[in-house]
Chain A
């Protein structure tokens, strides 16, 4: 129980990854607050934390609304007395609306950047005030292998995630001297649901013979929140089964 008495805010707390991170931090003793625009999903994940004996609560929140974010963060801080950990996990690509950039609507592009980049900035801005006052804190941003390598039909998403990687470094420079570590974890291909042909999926998306899971990401996020990781700051750690090692145009698995 290395996070006893700590309070952790997790955005995208209603999602698969947010839920896995919540359970991981809760098993180390942290009280977790799950923020999600889909409050009912956050409630469900909070229940999964409670089922493991952890303490969790769900808060409905649109992270693109900076004023609402500040109100929610200040309310949590006033009520729980502290915020030790912020995991900026909310985000996602345009999914079924993904298109080549020159064919994409700029409204979709703006939405993707608003959720991924401004969502993270809004939450960090609101939480950092409390962490600076406490001279202590730990911020983990969820980046993406797509932000490192780019991906077709993901110009908006890769731009936002690449910006998160860079913002992580600048935030580390500003906040680390004040006692706050800032790092990024970049997942590779982590399917939300088990694909029809798991082995073929694994072979296509990694150099390991298995599919990446939300728990694989949550483990590293959990590690980075521990006191023993306190010398790590400003980093972007990729967890992708080797996906980013692959080159286009050659058979990489021979």
Chain B
């Protein structure tokens, strides 16, 4: 129980990696605010946490809408009185719209949507919790970036740009808020899929793709007091995929 009495907000926690992070932080003792755009998914994951005997609060909100996120922050403070951990997990590529393409074939509305979700969404959530964290001189901000930030991914120029920006903003922010005892770090997952194809598994040096739990475990570590000297870093968890070609 490394996170006893802590309060965590996990964005995009209605499924996948966000859900695993929410479950893991709750199992370490944190009260977890399960944020998701989709109210049903937020409620379902929050109910899973409660059923396991831990504390959770579902909150449907769009990370790209600052009014909604400020409302969420107020609701969390009303309910729990504190915010210790923010995990910015909400994000995704144009694949969510079924609109992946080479950049020359994309349109401005698509890349603005991708940047808004991944970059502005992260900035909006951070900005909403910082007054509380700086006032109380404690906080852990963990941004889920992507190996796209380091190596880029074909058909995802916009997503690669947004995730690169998330890594860079984390470094600058770490310097600003470090003196306030707030740690800011990134985790860059590689390919995290439940049912990988043979090709996908062959793309790592471990012969497997990642599970959401692989990311959740490191998130819990970085959120804990044990990791309090770690700030401004980007830790890749990818089975060695970004190490590059096999031959």
Contact = CB atoms under 8 A, between A and B. Distances in A.
Contacts of A172: 205, 240, 243
A240 B183 CA distance: 12
A229 B205 contact: no
Interface string B199-220: 0000011111011011001100
Given A209-B179, A241-B229, A245-B174, A235 B235 contact: yes
A231 B237 contact: yes
Nearest to B241: A234
B175 A242 contact: yes
Interface stretch (A87-95, A97-105, A213-221): A213-221
Nearest to A219: B226
B228 A242 contact: no
A246 B213 CA distance: 33
Contact of B207 (A177, A206, A212): A177
Nearest to B236: A235
Contacts of B175: 207, 242, 245-246, 252-253
A254 to B, nearest CB: 10
A235 B214 CA distance: 15
Interface in A203-254: 206-210, 212-213, 216, 219-220, 223, 226, 228-235, 237-242, 244-246, 252-253
B232 interface: yes
B213 A216 contact: no
A138 interface: no
Nearest to B211: A231
A173 interface: yes
A214 to B, nearest CB: 11
Contacts of B233: 237-239
A38 interface: no
A207 B178 CA distance: 5
A213 B214 contact: no
A64 interface: no
B205 A209 contact: no
Interface string B158-176: 0000000000000100110
Contacts of B227: 219-220
Contacts of B236: 232, 235
Interface residues of B, number: 36
Contacts of B229: 206, 208, 210, 212-213, 216, 239-241
B167 to A, nearest CB: 12
Given A208-B231, A242-B175, A229 B217 contact: yes
A250 to B, nearest CB: 11
Contact of B178 (A208, A212, A216, A234): A208
Interface string A3-25: 00000000000000000000000
Interface string B134-174: 00000000000000000000000000000000000001001
A209 B206 CA distance: 39
A169 interface: yes
Interface of A: 169, 172-173, 176-177, 181, 206-210, 212-213, 216, 219-220, 223, 226, 228-235, 237-242, 244-246, 252-253
Interface of B: 171, 174-175, 178-179, 181, 183, 190, 204-208, 210-211, 213-214, 217-218, 221, 226-233, 235-240, 243, 246
Which 5 A-B pairs give the minimum distances between C-beta atoms?
A: A207-B178, A216-B229, A176-B205, A228-B217, A231-B214
Given A176-B205, A241-B231, 15 more contacts: A173-B240, A176-B239, A176-B240, A207-B232, A208-B229, A209-B178, A219-B221, A223-B218, A229-B218, A231-B210, A233-B205, A233-B240, A237-B233, A238-B230, A242-B174
